[in-house]
Structure 1
Amino acid sequence: MSLNFSQFIPTIPFILQGIGVTLKIVASAALLGFAFGIVLALFKIGRIKLLTWLADLYTSIFRGTPLVLQLMIIYFGMPQMIGFEIEAFPAAVIAFGLNSAAYISEIIRAGILAVDSGQREAAMALGVPYPLMMRNIILPQAFKHILPALMNEFITLTKESAVVTVIGAMDIMRRAYIVGGDKYAFFEPLLIAGIIYYILVMILTMLGKVIEGRMRKSD
């Protein structure tokens, strides 16, 4: 067996076009997961037991089942329930966003609980409404503690986005697979895809360190 990377050099631009699709899916899913994760976290630390129970159940389900299963249920299974097909891109965003929300909610919940209880007590003593206290006092402090964990979740989401190839989304992995099928050789294009993912992760890691450093200087 011999490897021949030269025949794949002309296909690299085609594979690189998948970066845009991958980043769009990841960014959209991250925003959805972050927004819904905040809601779930507030439910978990709230006083309404039913909402707490529902948030915990949601987290248990999405953390306890494979992401690829959730993606396939939304893309292949939901049309059976709702009567129309879902495109690959929104299906991926919904699946990744809902899955990420379960993990992010735990991260945010831990961050909120890590904030000194005196902050909350002082705000309550001054008569600050609960929503205002959370938005302006508790959450900003919590985010400083959980930023590394959030960046790690974003990086994980970037890597896990490769599973969208099972529903035909034209991301990095899907394009590498198409090239491999066209050339009847898969090792080289898949290795190229792996290098691209690695570079993306390294860029996100460095970006996270820069943001974390600036937030520490602002303390």
Structure 2
Amino acid sequence: MELRFFEIYRNPDYIWLLVEGAGASALITAGSGALGFIMALVLAGVRFGKIPVLGHIAAAYIEFIRNTPLIVQLFFVAFGLPMLLGYQWPFWAHAVLALTLNFSAYFSEILRAGFTTVATGQIEAARALGVPGWLVFVKIVLPQAVARMFPSLNSQFIFLFLTTGVISEIGVRDLTQAGMFIDSRTFRSFEVFFTLTVIYILLALSFKFFLTQVQRHLFKWQVAR
């Protein structure tokens, strides 16, 4: 078998497609991860606080998302919701919404597990001093839970990033779609998908490095322990 990587690298259009696709994959994943984390905080907080009705709705939502394939969620958001609600967004916006919903369910369970690790003595002491319940959650429970579960959130984010290649199925010009386009023109499948593998690994390592630095700066007191 003769490897002919030069058929990819010698064409500047193919190089640009890969760069553009990698950038799109990274930006969509980062945006979805940030929005998903914010949504996860709300979901985990509702469940941790055992708020009537809302807690059950949040639990049902999380179970629904975690027990359905991402590709099904993606198609529903991209094609089902526009038909039901009568709107149309760009493909990348549909991808961001679907990934945000997906990320939020997984992140919320990690955060909820982190909430349970906070010593009840600290919570009871704060309440005995008359600190409002929401302030106890924000100032005592949340910082410790996020700090302790940050490595798990980091790993879950990287795992979910590696599944985002499915957004190419709805027409998003991400890294996977760029590779498929190049493959359809060069018929060098091994070379193309080997190249994609390397790029995905580099992106995953970049995300991991960035998130590790964020952890060290935000939670110095936890890292030092």
Alignment TM class, shorter chain as reference? over 0.9
**Root mean square deviation, CA, Å:** 1.6
Q: 1:116-168 CA distances to partner (integer Å, 9 max, x unpaired)?
A: 11111011011111111111111011111100011112212221111111011
1:209 Cα offset (Å):
3.9
Give 1:114's aligned amino acid: T
The equivalent of 1:6 in structure 2 is: 6
Report the TM-score when normalising by structure 1.
0.93
The equivalent of 2:108 in structure 1 is: 105
The equivalent of 1:50 in structure 2 is: 53
Which of 87, 90, 107 is the aligned partner of 2:93? 90
Gaps of 5+ in 2: none
Alignment of 1:151 onto 2:154: yes
The equivalent of 1:21 in structure 2 is: 24
1:184 Cα offset (Å):
2.7
Report the TM-score when normalising by structure 2.
0.91
Which piece of structure 1 moves more, 114-123 or 179-188? Answer: 179-188
Give 1:89's aligned amino acid: W
CA distance in 2, matches of 1:73, 1:110: 29
CA distance in 2, matches of 1:179, 1:104: 35
CA distance in 1, matches of 2:88, 2:206: 35
Give 1:4's aligned amino acid: R
Query: Superposed, which structure 2 residues align to 1:193-208 within 5 Å?
Result: 193-208=196-211
> For the Cα contact (< 8 Å) 2:4–2:188, is it kept in 1?
no
Q: 1:176-214 CA distances to partner (integer Å, 9 max, x unpaired)?
A: 111111223322112111110011112223334444455
- Over 3 Å counting, the alpha-carbon distance change for 1:209 and 1:88 in structure 2 is same
Q: Percent identity?
A: 33
CA distance in 2, matches of 1:166, 1:152: 25
CA distance in 1, matches of 2:106, 2:82: 26
CA distance in 1, matches of 2:3, 2:198: 16
Aligned length: 219
Give 2:114's aligned amino acid: G
Give 1:194's aligned amino acid: T
1:76 Cα offset (Å):
1.4
> For the Cα contact (< 8 Å) 1:25–1:161, is it kept in 2?
no
Gaps of 5+ in 1: none
